[in-house]
Structure 1
């Protein structure tokens, strides 16, 4: 579920789901669009690759 858009009933993007609770099937965790805005703007301006460090 990580990275799934959080969408309103009227189809507006509200944020991004980043985790689900394995013990509660109807509970997830999300960041709202306002919380993601600065990172999205930085990403749009990025012009060179960055290290993934330990991810691969």
Structure 2
């Protein structure tokens, strides 16, 4: 996935790709955004990383 994110450093693109990969299963299971936001917080994602 990180190869689809343009204009970002490879490290930042990899971090964002990792966060998306972690959140997708929650959304696929029908979990709400509250669960996704909790996961992002627990993973230490900053506001800009999760925007």
Provide the TM-score with structure 2 as the length reference. Answer: 0.32
Identify the structure with bigger relative contact order (alpha carbons < 8 Å, sequence gap 6+). Answer: 2
Q: Give the number of the structure whose alpha-carbon radius of gyration is greater.
A: 1
Structure with the higher fraction of residues in helix conformation: 2
Provide the TM-score with structure 1 as the length reference. Answer: 0.30
